[in-house]
């Protein structure tokens, strides 16, 4: 099994690169995050080798945290290597920890190949494991008490494209200013004003 490659970056294509190690070119599939981090010239990639009947595939990672997340993501039913790399292209390990802790389905579905059902499965299966994963401390998750119109306000703000953590913080300020029993439209407008700053 190949665990690490150190060589010259020969070429970079969409989703993969060729690493020349002493004249042998290894085709390595990578996330866009890893491909962007590759230096010109000599590079070292951590490798996850997958052996199947019809192919031996190499998946490369610039950081150990990214490799650990790849391994964990591929334990979820429906998440193969390609989808796992797509998730790691869309979200850094820190962002993944935050998305799973905050149960942010919208963040997970930004990855190619991840629909709502698969996103829910990922969030559910990895919720208890995300805290132990590498990637640094996640941003503090604010969990407002969603009484009254809070849940609808949060849903409206995230549906407008705001990240869950941003929407939660805006909701907290809106509730602080107008009270948790304020009308739905009042809280949404107040939340949007906070997010517009």
Prediction pTM value: 0.66
Distance CA 168, CA 163 (A): 9
* Cβ atoms 97, 67 nearer than 8 A: no
CATH topology of domain 4-61: OB fold (Dihydrolipoamide Acetyltransferase, E2P) (2.40.50)
Q: Which CATH number fits the domain 64-132, given the four candidates 3.40.190.10, 3.40.50.620, 1.10.150.20, 3.20.20.70?
A: 1.10.150.20
Region 108-118: mean pLDDT is 92
Q: pLDDT tens-digit profile of 86-95?
A: 999 999 888 8
Taking 50 as the threshold, does the pLDDT of residue 126 lie above it? yes
- The maximal CA–CA distance of the chain, rounded, in angstroms, is 69
pLDDT category of residue 144 using cuts at 50, 70 and 90: very low
Q: pLDDT tens-digit profile of 40-80?
A: 889 999 999 999 999 999 999 999 999 999 999 999 999 99
Task: Tell me the CATH number for domain 150-196.
Answer: 1.10.8
Q: Which residues pair with 157 in a beta bridge?
A: none
């Amino acid at each position: 099994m190949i665990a690490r490659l150190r060589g010259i970056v020969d070429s970079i294509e969409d989703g993969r690169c060729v690493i020349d190690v002493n004249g042998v070119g290894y085709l390595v599939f990578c996330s866009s995050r890893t491909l962007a981090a590759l230096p010109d010239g000599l590079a070292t990639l951590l490798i996850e080798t997958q052996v199947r009947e019809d192919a031996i595939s190499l998946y490369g990672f610039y950081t150990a945290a990214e490799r650990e997340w790849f391994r964990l993501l591929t334990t979820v039913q429906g998440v193969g290597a390609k989808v796992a790399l797509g998730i790691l292209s869309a979200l850094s390990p820190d962002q993944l920890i935050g998305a799973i802790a905050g149960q942010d389905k919208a963040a997970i579905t930004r990855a190619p190949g991840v629909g709502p059902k698969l996103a829910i499965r990922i969030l559910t299966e990895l919720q208890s494991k995300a805290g132990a994963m590498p990637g640094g401390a996640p941003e503090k998750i604010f969990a407002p008490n969603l009484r009254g119109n809070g849940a609808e306000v949060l849903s409206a703000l995230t549906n407008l494209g705001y990240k869950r953590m941003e929407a939660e913080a805006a909701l907290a300020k809106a509730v602080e200013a107008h009270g948790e029993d304020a009308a739905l439209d009042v809280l949404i407008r107040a939340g949007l004003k906070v997010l517009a700053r």
